[in-house]
Structure 1
Amino acid sequence: MKAKHQRLLLGVAALVAVMGASGLALSALKDEAAFFYAPSDVAGKAPPTGRAVRLGGMVEAGSIARQADGVSIAFVVTDGKARVPVTFSGIAPDLFKEDSGVVAEGQFRPDGSFAADNLLAKHDERYMPPEIAGKMAAAKTLEP
């Protein structure tokens, strides 16, 4: 076999290997990918049930209701146009509060509510951890 044919065969084999690896990676990620929805995206139409998705928006003021078991929370996520009731059982993040951003990971129920498995609380760009804020305040008092 000539060197030209060997290089061509090696190139084709490498291309097939890369395509095969890409196909395997995409098929593995297909089940793990979580799509993101806002409340207005699911308003008026049937949300996708039985599939892992993310619901993002603001926690509506006055909507947080803690259950008697101490770990379950019910609240409403809104984007200003639509509202979606959410239930969560677990420990909520420290930044989770009313009128703040939240991303809930879980599944839609057939009745249109959302069952969250995980909560991700969001903060604005001015957020600073209390430890750093205290150190910065102390440094300012030491400046002449």
Structure 2
Amino acid sequence: MNARKRRRLAFVLALVAGGAGAAALSIAALKDNVLYFYGPSEVYAKHVPSGVAFRVGGLVEAQSIRKGPGPLVRFKVGDGRSTVAVRYEGDLPALFREGQGVVAIGKLDGTGTFEASQVLAKHDEKYMPPEVVDALKREGRWQETSGRQ
């Protein structure tokens, strides 16, 4: 192998190593910013560890909303098979109520309660977040007459 081929090989190897390094850094940066979505059944089936941020969505269970002192609210989000207890401290959306689709962002605490940092509710009578619709369809609870735009 002559000097010219060695330089060309070294250049290609350096280029491949640099590309692999850049890809690894990009993946590491994205991993910190991605929030996975789970339905209540998936939270327990996938054994999501406490302290890991994710989104949970489903329907607010009937008679589960409990208002505590100050802005503290506890409620349950269900998909027909499982429910997740949610604790949220803050102002709830105006459209938040029992039977409505919600998505909560946060993480599980050590007791299995979802500590929400944000709660999102649907914006009109026909819309439901696509992630909630997909979770309800997987559990067999989605009715097409509910409407999805």
Q: TM-score, normalised by structure 2?
A: 0.67
**Aligned-residue offset at 1:47:** 3.8
Deviations 1:39-71 (A, max 9, x none): 1123477541111121111111222222231x2
- Tell me the distance in 2 between the aligned counterparts of 1:7 and 1:14: 11
Gaps of 5+ in 2: 128-149
Q: What pairs with 1:39-54 in structure 2 (closer than 5 Å)?
A: 39-43=40-44, 46-54=47-55
Deviation at 1:33, TM superposition (A): 2.2
Q: TM-score, normalised by structure 1?
A: 0.69
Aligned equivalents of 1:9 and 1:100: distance in 2?
61
CA distance in 1, matches of 2:111, 2:74: 15
| C-alpha deviation, 1:79, in angstroms | 0.2
Say whether the 8 Å CA contact 1:109–1:115 is kept in structure 2. yes
**Larger CA deviation: 82-91 vs 18-27:** 18-27
Q: CA RMSD in A?
A: 2.7
Note if contact 1:56-1:104 (Cα within 8 Å) is conserved in structure 2.
Answer: yes
Structure 1: unaligned runs, 5 residues or longer: 128-144
How many residues in Structure 1 have an aligned counterpart in Structure 2? 125
Residue identity in the other structure for 1:105: I
Percent identity over the alignment is: 43
1:33 maps to 34
Q: Greater Rg, structure 1 or structure 2?
A: 1
- Cα deviation, 1:2-38, whole Å, max 9, x if unaligned, reads 6x98887666555443332221111122223222221
